[in-house]
Amino acid sequence: MGSMISLGVGTMEIDWGKNNCINYHSALFQPEDVKQIPYYYVDDEDSYITEYKEGYSRKLSSVKQRLNLLGYTLKTIKTMYNEMVEECENHRLSVALSYENFSKLLKEIDVNKINTLKYAVEYDENGYDFGEFARRCILPEEEIHSKLFSETDEDEYNVSYDLEVFFENMDPYIILRLLAENPNASDLDVYWSFADVVENGWVTREEIVHPLSDSEKIIIVTEGSSDSYIIQKTIESIYPDISDFFKFIDMEKNYPFTGTGNLYNFCCGLMKLGVNNKIIVIFDNDTEGNEKYLKLVTMPKMDNFLITKLPDFYLFEHISTLGPQGENIENINGTAVSIECFLDFKSCNRKAKIRWTSYNDKLNKYQGALVCKDDYIRAFKKAKLLNGTYDTTKLKFLIDYLLNEWINR
């Protein structure tokens, strides 16, 4: 039969291969996700046996955000699905399953009732492709069959055959991403069972177990080194499941792009060069940052390049300010929001205040900065973000905002 490798959620397989004809799924996991997981076989007496070997395992709810960062959002997979349907129809195949019905099916089925593993160990030595696997193992499952064929009046055999071809060419991450929306599946483990192909020499362990490649990572560039440090520590502490997706320029080696003007020029250069790296550029949400940001967003956009700014936040609508008009309570969104404003204001023994530092004649606005911002940074560097002693509300809002900006760019 050969050495098999499979990707599945619980006992529902969604992709598999044999020997060295495999798809690689390392990007769904981190190297520390390798552990002992169940493998299913049939012995000489046709009895099922379970062995535990090395493989990847991670909760589907955790894999969901990794899929988003790999480009498999609900928006993009709908486009992928419809493009596949159109391609099949161009070859005179009928896909009697709209995206709406397909997504509804996967979001509602009880995955715990689908055991495709028992079929996978019963087939002949030649194996079978994923289309045949879908037709023989997935489509007959009651949870799927009853929903699928209630949607069409066509002959069941013809529907099954066309769907076999359709599933044979389907990206398994489309299925995985939709299952991640299923409340019956989100707490299940996603397994990638690679031990057999490694043990039998078809691939090396290093080809399977490795960090993300540089092409899969996203470079974050900010106005200053403290910005990158704050974002990096927050992601590593609060969002460890996706922290490996982000690269930050080493602040210890003379951070080269500090300042709004330099960051603006850097962006212009990148867009002219047409770089292929995935990059997020973040401007401050102050007067100067907004001026440069608004100039850049009018330029032609690249799919791999996001230009954004720190977000508005309701807590910044009533902040103490110091300036020519004395002390006031003002809305600093758009005029004085720097990364330090997302730190815990209670971490320093003083009332948070913004000082208006300069006036922009062109925009008819003042530029502001947080008073004693370095004290807030020092407190952040010492803080442990997970033990409840440091208020991370604003930081979580910031990271969620940046993730959504990237995913929905």
CA pair distance 292, 305, nearest whole angstrom: 16
> Cβ(24)–Cβ(126) under 8 Å?
no
CA pair distance 293, 24, nearest whole angstrom: 38
Residues 169 and 262 in one domain: no
pLDDT tens digits along 50-100:
899 999 999 999 999 999 999 999 999 999 999 998 888 888 777 777 888
Q: Which domain holds residue 313?
A: 214-407
Residue 233 is predicted with a pLDDT of 97
Residues 247 and 177 in one domain: no
Domain boundary among 208, 226, 253: 208
Residues 255 and 288 in one domain: yes
Residues 161 and 21 in one domain: yes
CA pair distance 32, 28, nearest whole angstrom: 12
CA pair distance 30, 246, nearest whole angstrom: 13
Residues 386 and 328 in one domain: yes
Residue 251 is predicted with a pLDDT of 44
Q: How far is CA 346 from the centre of its chain?
A: 32
Domain boundary among 159, 184, 208: 208
Give the chain's residues under pLDDT 70. Answer: 1-2, 44-46, 116-159, 250-258, 273
Residues 104 and 181 in one domain: yes
pTM: 0.87
What's the domain count of the chain? Answer: 2
Domain boundary among 161, 178, 208: 208
Residue 126 is predicted with a pLDDT of 41
CA dihedral sign of residues 160, 164, 166, 172: positive
Residues 297 and 377 in one domain: yes
Residue 276 is predicted with a pLDDT of 80
Residues 332 and 247 in one domain: yes
Residues 64 and 201 in one domain: yes
